[in-house]
């Protein structure tokens, strides 16, 4: 279990015990969103004006990428791609291992993202009035 705060604290908890683990160090910027890889090894945070990847084994930041007006994110089931919705630039697809931007889309704020259980389709919706199904 993971939590993030407006003061920038990033914390993990024992799911069964509720025990607090050591905090994950990073910039003291507000955390607006979190998602984790399905294997539980990586945590992704919308932190200030950037997306950051944290290795939960070493408890260190792997990479950070600045993107404008971040709003929402999700990761595909196999953990290769991180999908990010922005209030300005629509949708971005990032390589989850490196943070490299792979594609973009939508013309306005992306407010919702979800990947199908088989990992083959990304569904996005936004203020441009569209719902888009992406073959991934």
Kindly list the domain boundaries of the chain, sorted by start residue. Answer: 2-135
Percent above pLDDT 70 for the chain: 96
What's residue 43's pLDDT? 93
Encode pLDDT of 8-67 as tens digits.
888 888 888 989 887 887 777 888 889 999 998 999 999 888 999 999 999 899 999 998
Structural domain 2-135, CATH architecture: 7 Propeller (2.130)
Q: Is 110 exposed, middle or buried (0-12, 13-18, 19+ CB in 10 A)?
A: buried
Please check the confidence at residue 123 and state whether its pLDDT lies above 70.
yes
Residue 74, SS3 per DSSP: strand
Helix (H) / strand (E) containing 6: none
The answer to whether 64 and 54 are in contact (CB under 8 A) is no
Does the pTM surpass 0.85? The reply is no
Q: Which residues pair with 5 in a beta bridge?
A: none
Query: Average pLDDT over the chain, rounded to whole?
Result: 86
CA-nearest of 44, 30, 42 to 83 is 44
């Amino acid at each position: 279990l993971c939590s993030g705060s407006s003061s920038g604290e990033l914390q993990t908890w024992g799911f069964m015990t509720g025990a607090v683990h050591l905090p994950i160090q990073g910039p003291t910027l507000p955390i607006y969103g979190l998602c984790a890889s399905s294997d539980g090894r990586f945590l992704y945070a919308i932190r200030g004006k950037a997306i950051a990847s944290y290795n939960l084994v070493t408890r260190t930041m792997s990479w950070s990428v600045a993107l404008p007006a971040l709003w929402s994110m999700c990761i595909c089931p196999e953990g290769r791609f991180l999908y990010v919705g922005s209030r300005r630039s629509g949708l971005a697809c990032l390589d989850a291992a490196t943070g490299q931007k792979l594609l973009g889309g939508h013309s306005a704020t992306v407010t919702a993202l979800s990947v199908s259980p088989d990992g083959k389709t990304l569904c996005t919706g936004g203020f441009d009035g569209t719902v888009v199904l992406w073959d991934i």
